[in-house]
Structure 1
Amino acid sequence: FSVIGFNWLCSPACTELEVIVMDWLAKFLKLPEHFLHSTKGPGGGIIQGSASEAVLVAVMAAREQTVRRVKAKQPDLSEGEIRARLIGYSSDQSNSCIEKAGVLATLPIRLLPADDNQIMGGAQLVKAVKEDLAKGLIPTICIATMGATGTCAYDDIATLASVCEEHNIWLHVDAAYAGAVLSLDEYAYLRCGLERVDSLNYNLHKTLLVNFDCTAMWLRDANQVVDSFNVNRIYLQNKYNGQTDIPEFRHWQIPLGRRFRALKVWVTFRIYGAEGLREHVRKQIRLAERFERHILSDARLELVAKRSMGLVCFRVKGDNQLTTDLLQCVTERKKIYMVQAAFGGKNFMRFAVCGMDPKEDDIDFAWREIEEQLNKLLKEEKRGNVGT
């Protein structure tokens, strides 16, 4: 370990382990074979620090590839004119890091309204693309969500892919939270369309027992990223440049230096095994189902969306202020932690099952805390109404 720890920057050993680990992960999640390093072709995977980094890399790579493609077809246009017309798309239920990536990459991201099930599909995208083409804009990238931040809804990847293929739009899938369910055969339907995406990311530190930070990112054609970011100064050259099949990951990411994150993924797989990790994911789902039953047993509460993976979204029936007040009471007690979200004019709370080893007792404890604070809140509310 001392050799790995101090000399990895001078050796391809760490990169080689990361290549192995990323192929393990791709097989574990049953991703299309063209995302594996071991498969002939330009695809492969890399460990980034966070979903924010992965999304930003995808946005910037899509930007540069689009600029070059349009410039080749319309040489009379300057790069500045082309860049000023680029536009990207995502759902209004997507994570805030997607908007931020657009800001950092100077590529506006248009947030399209999700449907009543919090889903973005091809119908919304094709409508937006036609509107923007009529304005002279250049559709560049679409970021779909597999497990939206608010409700863990899944965008319709297959229909989005059809639109993206027709209009030469880069399709990235942000599966930061829910990507783990791809490893389960009972969720095989969520893999539909993934063979047609250009890139995707999944945060192992959210649901797969790997400590922060560790985001897996796969690319269908890594050459498009390398071509976009390659800056090869003389002091970066070494005896391994171009001499091995091992990728130079510094061209796949934002920073020059890299942390040896592959080791903790390797250790996790060696300790738990693939089936042990799948059972961990299934356990989170079972515990979320247990909490969901608690919510359904109380007529004062309602579900805002269908339970998804380890996330249950619920609210107090009635005015939004009741939900906000309940969350504040629970937060001030510091026994459990939840955050608030909103959709369709309704505020709601997000109860997420997480942690290294959550148990049924933990779920029941959380429910009792919520129930106790709800009783107090509604009692005070009733007393206030009587007083007026």
Structure 2
Amino acid sequence: MVRNYPPGWTYADFAPQFKAELFNATQWAELFVKAGAKYVVLTSKHHEGCTLWPSSTSFNWNSKDVGPGKDLVGELSTAVRAEGLHFGVYHSMMDWYHPLYLQDKRNQWTTQYFVKAKCTNELHELVANYQPDILWSDGEWEAPAEYWNSTNFLAWLYNDSPVRDKILVNDRWGMGVHCKHGDFYNCGDRLNPGKLQPHKWENCMTMDQRSWGYRRDMTYEDVLSIDVLLKTLAETISCDGNLLINVGPRADGTIDAIFQERLLQLGEWLDLNGAAIYDSRPWMTQQDPNDHRVWYTTDGTNVYAIVTLYKLDVQIRLGALNSSSLNADSVVTILGYELPLQFTTDALGVTIRLPATGLPQQIKYAPVVKITLE
């Protein structure tokens, strides 16, 4: 803002420029399906306080009263569910410029004027109006959970709310609560523990490596390549996490072409390799000890070795499997390329020969070696 806008420019000055005139919820939902997504989370309100639904607590500071003139949360929730996907809402508890929030902050969180007048009411509105499958909380880190009244709200959510039988929440409900409470943990942004976790977790990360929101000065190099995106997916799923990919749309309501391309590439890969992702669970080894590009999953019968950052290798050497786990009856193939692969084993590992030609492009991004042990 300092570089690009006049002195004294505020977030409120952006409102007339945010028109979302090209926003098409159905097109968004169709894109997410093609990307292979199973759930969608929309930012219903970020830290600046403007809500993307006509909230009764945000008169003249919501997407219905200013800017688009639309209930963006409502339109997307309807479109996403029409495609068979689960719908979630992100909600930031803090409100940078709200006078009651600033007053509570000056009072060192000993008062709850903002929570009682706005924050809790917003959460109740989202649940009542849109009945989300996921409530993704954020913006809570300045104050303890007691200030946010998190325990009482969650007790209502789980026991008495209209979504009590299906709702999932993350772990951002107050200072110091990260990685301690929630149906799934985010801990910090871009969580990537690299090893199996005892509690379900989610890696929330950005396609643009430098920003969560749209940047007009974004360069091609700033955007994750499909190879790195698939590596992130493999690492996350192997360690029993979910991947939530953030893309920042333009003010006109469209998703940038480079983001669409990455999502479609991801979906093409998942069309062929989804067995290693959707129907899988963690194996006894996550990252191969010999070839660190390789991450494992299993469906109970087969082991899937996801070869990330693939460079047209003619063979791979795996250290998590050896002559005691593979025998003459074992079958090794590549998903989407069903001809058996040649392999040799010894006490220290297995060497698998990969086809030099004939692999479709969507396989070359990250081949998945399917190993049927018996």
Which structure has the highest helix share of the two? 1
Higher relative CO (CA 8 A, sep ≥ 6), structure 1 or 2? 1
- TM-score after normalising by structure 1: 0.30
Q: TM-score w.r.t. structure 2 length?
A: 0.30
